[in-house]
Amino acid sequence: MEKVCVLGAGSWGTALAMVLAENGHDTLVWTHRAEQAEEINQLHTNKKYLPETILPVNLHATSDMAKVASHAETIVVAVPTKAIREVCEKLTAELTKKVLFVHVSKGIEPDSLKRISEIIAESLPAMYVEEIVVLSGPSHAEEVVLHHPTTVTAACANIDAAEKVQDLFMNQFFRVYTNEDIIGVEIGGALKNVIALAAGITDGLNYGDNAKAALITRGLAEISRLGVKMGGNPFTFSGLTGMGDLIVTCTSVHSRNWRAGNMLGQGMKLQEVLDQMGMVVEGVRTTKAAYQLAEKYDVAMPISTELYSVLFNDVEPKVAVDALMMRMKKREIDDMKH
Ligand SMILES: NC(=O)C1=CN([C@@H]2O[C@H](COP(=O)(O)OP(=O)(O)OC[C@H]3O[C@@H](n4cnc5c(N)ncnc54)[C@H](OP(=O)(O)O)[C@@H]3O)[C@@H](O)[C@H]2O)C=CC1
Ligand SMILES: O=C(CO)COP(=O)(O)O
């Protein structure tokens, strides 16, 4: 039995804490809201994020970061990308020993263009960090808490650390693979949210299945092009954290990114959509990062670039789709490579 803390009691942090508690680990979930910790401890629910779920009685919660620091041998970071630096800063003030870090967030920071493992490494003193492993793959919290079969990947250049995380989480419903390619896994996980927003938009425009299949396939081509140029293994992008996560996020009603895109396609404005969601839509900030990465690495990312103009330059979704369809003619396979 390991002592594990999960930082963040949103839908994903809570679902993963439930997996860990069900696996028999001594699990503590940290939330910045004391009343939410109280709800989890007293009522064994988290109504805001998983309204139908009863949490295991051996899953405990706290809003006291000092308790996290004294309890944890492993810490799972499960807050949205934009909150990671702030949460790491709070943790740094309390840490006294070396901990294994796992992160499960899917984003890239605009401007710095850092991946999450880089943000965490930069935000925590190295003497307290045993390793940073990313856990990613096609996995909506709503299905994990129902024990529906789910597969994910634990990635780290240090394969022993990845295997340790595999052992922590793996059970009959939650199958964990390993991969040494942390760059490819993080890039795939972050950029699939951009493509899912675009897929939601074409569904909102009622463009049907041909358009969505095109977005998934050509989306994977541009994610892979960038990811390989950044140092990722080309095979990673056809795995769970690439194609797998792209499929689930572009096709599932649970996806916040797809749902946000769908509302945009139906004519709503970005701010209205975000106000209505009440949960993180990582793809919006990541679209800004993807636009900047395409420039930095000189990689063609037409879908991400058109989405950027819809989100941040007020271009009509239909006009952006027309622009994609009217691009210069290409050879398919050559265009996937370069
Ligand atoms: N949901 C899912 O199925 C999956 C999500 N992910 C990824 O996991 C990450 C978290 O997503 P998810 O749990 O869904 O997000 P949610 O929107 O469901 O929850 C976010 C949680 O983070 C908390 N939070 C936000 N800002 C801060 C802050 N500054 N300090 C402390 N806590 C903060 C929120 O608190 P409050 O309630 O007060 O707002 C909330 O508890 C994302 O990167 C997402 O892409 C990955 C796989 C699956
Ligand atoms: O990453 C996810 C599923 O694997 C969650 O996607 P959404 O944030 O779009 O809900």
Question: Which atom of ligand 1 lies at the shortest distance from residue 49's CA?
Answer: 18
* The pLDDT of residue 338: 66
Query: Helix (H, G, I), strand (E, B), or coil: what is residue 96?
Result: coil
* The pLDDT of residue 335: 76
**Cβ–ligand 1 contact at 89 (below 6 Å):** no
* The pLDDT of residue 27: 98
Using CA atoms, how far residue 204 sits from 260, 261, 266, 267, 320, in Å, is 10, 7, 5, 8, 14
**Per the residue annotation, which of 192, 288, 329, 337 is the catalytic one?**
192
**Cβ–ligand 2 contact at 183 (below 6 Å):** no
* The pLDDT of residue 278: 85
Whether 156 contacts 120, CB under 8 Å: no
CA of 49 to the centre of ligand 1 (A): 9
DSSP class per residue in 152-196? EEEE-SSHHHHHHHHHHH--SSEEEEEES-HHHHHHHHHHHHHHH
* The pLDDT of residue 336: 73
* The pLDDT of residue 296: 98
The tally of CA atoms less than 13 A away on the side-chain side of residue 3 is 8
**Predicted confidence (pLDDT) per residue in 82-130, tens digit:** 999 999 999 999 999 999 999 999 999 999 999 999 999 999 999 999 9
The pTM assigned to this predicted structure is 0.97
* The pLDDT of residue 287: 98
Atom 17 of ligand 1, nearest CA residue: 279
Query: Helix (H, G, I), strand (E, B), or coil: what is residue 20?
Result: helix
Is 192 among the catalytic positions? yes
Question: Which atom of ligand 2 lies at the shortest distance from residue 106's CA?
Answer: 1
Residue with tokens 């595999």: 166
**Cβ–ligand 1 contact at 29 (below 6 Å):** no
Q: Give the CA radius of gyration of the chain.
A: 20
Could you tell me whether strands 74-77 and 3-7 are parallel, antiparallel, or unpaired per DSSP bridges?
parallel
Low-confidence stretches of the chain (pLDDT beneath 50): none
**Cβ–ligand 1 contact at 138 (below 6 Å):** no
**Predicted confidence (pLDDT) per residue in 169-178, tens digit:** 999 999 999 9
